[in-house]
């Protein structure tokens, strides 16, 4: 079950058409991936968070925003560090997701 499910999700996310999928579909796949909070998942999500594109800029900004959301779900020290370093992102959607993700992690740590 678990390993195969993760592989299927990774294949979808790493596919060349992933960037062109709808916001909700990307969100569902990335959130599903967060069920495996291991270093590989964290690396992939951070990579998506930092990804930039000259063409299809809005699609990449969506991806950055979703990655910020997922970093909040992962809640690791590294995720928090990456989010804090990028707190002043110029894109409103990305910044909103960064702020929410930081709050989510900080609230979870307060108990």
pLDDT 10s digits, 5-18: 999 999 999 999 99
| pLDDT tens sequence across 15-54 | 999 999 999 999 999 999 999 999 999 999 999 999 998 8
How far is 23 from 100, CA to CA, in rounded Å?
Answer: 18
Domains of the chain by range and CATH?
Answer: 2-110 (1.25.10.10)
Tokens representing 36 are: 């495996």
How far apart are the C-alpha atoms of 94 and 89, rounded to whole Å? 7
pLDDT of 1: 60
pLDDT (tens digit per residue) in 56-104: 899 999 999 999 999 999 999 999 999 999 999 999 999 999 999 999 9
Nearest Cα neighbor of 102 from 59, 85, 24 is 85
Nearest CA among 51, 39, 61 for reference residue 14: 51
Name every residue whose Cβ is closer than 8 Å to that of residue 98 and which is 6 or more positions away in sequence: 68, 83, 86, 87, 89
């Amino acid at each position: 079950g678990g390993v195969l499910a993760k592989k299927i999700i990774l294949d979808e996310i790493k596919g060349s058409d992933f960037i062109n999928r709808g916001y909700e579909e990307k969100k569902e796949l990335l959130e599903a991936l967060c069920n495996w909070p291991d270093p590989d998942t964290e690396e992939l999500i951070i990579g998506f968070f930092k990804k930039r594109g000259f063409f299809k800029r809005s699609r990449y900004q969506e991806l950055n925003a979703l990655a910020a959301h997922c970093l909040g779900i992962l809640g690791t020290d590294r995720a928090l560090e990456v989010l804090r370093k990028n707190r002043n992102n110029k894109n409103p959607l990305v910044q909103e997701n960064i702020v929410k993700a930081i709050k989510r992690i900080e609230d979870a740590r307060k108990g």
